Structure 1
């Protein structure tokens, strides 16, 4: 009997501990559940917003994927006209089909809203106006989100730099192959043209309506750096479907 008492004591202690553990695992009564940080509707909205953010930021253009992307992008393009509404009026450009990378790049950036609220940041009287850049955080953010890449020149399709031609400048980085800066463009105003540019820059379209607006932009006062004294905005660029 004396040997059985310690065993009985240990058994009772074990049962008491088990009961305590079971009590600690019980759920709180319904009215005492801890409050959630968000209700089910907020959680659903958060999920949709996260999905949207993922969709808009999941793909970024790079030097490695840009050519393949635009090669495939241009296959289904049925459009070739873009209207640019500026703070001095609007004009329309028609893009050439046989320069597919530059055409599809311009339409892609237009559809992404890149050109909206950029500027004509360079004006050379009786020569060109150049647009697609701006000294603001919004433009820098858009470039980061779209990606960092250059486009190869495509100068052997017979397109010359006639008056009204839209063309793409080469990048300002160390660039012996004259790769194009995809975010910017220039329009020739010289009459009949600036043919010394042929072979060095890719002409990818022409102004078909509103050349008088382009001429007005080319006549604005500029500073020593060829920046207009008063900002000239591209308020909206839209693809004409």
Structure 2
């Protein structure tokens, strides 16, 4: 009987310790555990909406048993779709964002180097605000880039920015306009004029030299820069990401053998 009462007392104590308040003035870390090993990330303090959302999900066990459902070697390892817990063979996961999004927190100081923790999101055409899928996230594996490849990535970034501005301005104009469908062309023309005016002020984006050096020596996915939220970075477990990125996948980039998140742990040092 004494043992039972002791268990009843100690159990809640451990549970309370596990979810003790965090000191947000200090770095917060999360360890994601898989059969291939553990990956530990540090969450950025200047992306608090994403940081707090990820902490809440991890502490609630939302990722336990969920798959990394999309794996592309040299690019990303993506997971977090709640539906993937069903692990149905042949199913293309990635369509469930948990039923909500997180407002974009795109910071100029963060970029998509190897080990970046980034959001997953719908494309700019339907999501010009670039809000993040509530539960999904990616580890950037990336690869080392040559200067020629970085020049191409730079062109791609500028093209993505141009198209994003168009969809953003079009949505804003559509929200204010009472034009009928027949005048859709005029609305788009106005949006493009706004794009060109904006770009003439902003100038062409160029990847900074210090960032180029990171992409040349460490690697990453530079074409993503500026288009999504980077809210943390890997501090331990790069080898685990590399092993996950090398698994066999089907034509939809889903691992042939399920890559399961066993658990997550939030902590501070």
Normalised by the shorter chain, which TM-score bucket? 0.5 to 0.7
Distance 1:161 1:81 in 2: 19
What pairs with 1:175-190 in structure 2 (closer than 5 Å)? Answer: 175-190=127-142
What pairs with 1:59-98 in structure 2 (closer than 5 Å)? Answer: 80-98=28-46
What pairs with 1:53-132 in structure 2 (closer than 5 Å)? Answer: 80-132=28-80
- RMSD, matched Cα: 2.5
TM-score, L = length of structure 2: 0.56
Residue 225 of structure 2 corresponds to 198
Distance 2:85 2:244 in 1: 21
Residue 84 of structure 2 corresponds to 135
Q: Structure 1 pair 188/180, CA: closer, same or farther in 2 (3 Å)?
A: same
What residue ranges of structure 1 are gaps of 5+ in the alignment?
Answer: 1-72, 139-145
What pairs with 1:150-229 in structure 2 (closer than 5 Å)? Answer: 150-171=101-122, 174-191=126-143, 192-229=219-256
Superposition deviation, residue 171 in structure 1: 3.3
Q: Structure 1 pair 148/75, CA: closer, same or farther in 2 (3 Å)?
A: farther
CA contact (8 A) 2:116 2:230 kept: yes
Q: Secondary structure at the match of 2:50?
A: helix
CA contact (8 A) 2:44 2:231 kept: yes
**Count of residue pairs the alignment pairs up:** 162
Q: Which has the higher contact order (CA 8 A, sep 6+)?
A: 2
TM-score, L = length of structure 1: 0.62
What residue ranges of structure 2 are gaps of 5+ in the alignment?
Answer: 1-20, 88-96, 144-218
- Cα displacement string for residues 214-233 of structure 1 (whole angstroms, at most 9, x for unaligned residues): 10000000000000000010
Distance 1:147 1:219 in 2: 27
Superposition deviation, residue 79 in structure 1: 5.2
Superposition deviation, residue 179 in structure 1: 1.1
